[in-house]
Amino acid sequence: MGSHFDVKDLLVFTSVAVIVDGKQVVGLQLAQLADFIAMVALTEVDLDAPLGAAPTILRLFDARGSGTQVPAGLSAWDQEFLKWLYDSAAPLESITQRSVITGEMLHDLAP
């Protein structure tokens, strides 16, 4: 079941408690886990959504399960995504926000 909080309601929180299953994080560094939790909390991302080829900390647990390289922390992609999510000209409620962020990220990350 999804949250009944609105984006404006979330701005009121000053702290959050996170419960972590210790069995699931064996072998991870605290910094990796903290970056993963921060990215999930700051983006309200659907963890089941396809990530395509995005080099992101959101792959932390998938990478471990598939034997691929585990992200060390927030990537440039993650940092750009957060930058454009919070600095975007499109308001958080805007239906076009995703396309605005995608365009800006592609512009900034393109070689």
Q: What is the DSSP string of 62-102?
A: HHHHHTSPPP-S--HHHHHHHHHHHH-SS-TT-TTHHHHHH
Residue 105 maps to a domain: yes
Tokens 């592609």 correspond to: 106
Residue 83 maps to a domain: yes
Angle, CA 5 vertex, CA 77 and CA 89 arms, to 5°: 45
Residue 1 maps to a domain: no
| Mean pLDDT computed over 33-50 | 86
Confidence band of 1 (pLDDT split at 50, 70, 90): very low
102, 80 Cβ separation under 8 angstroms: no
Residue 58 maps to a domain: yes
Q: Which domain holds residue 79?
A: 7-109
pLDDT tens digits along 49-102: 887 778 889 989 887 777 778 889 999 889 888 887 777 555 556 666 666 666
Burial class (CB in 10 A: 0-12, 13-18, 19+), 80: middle
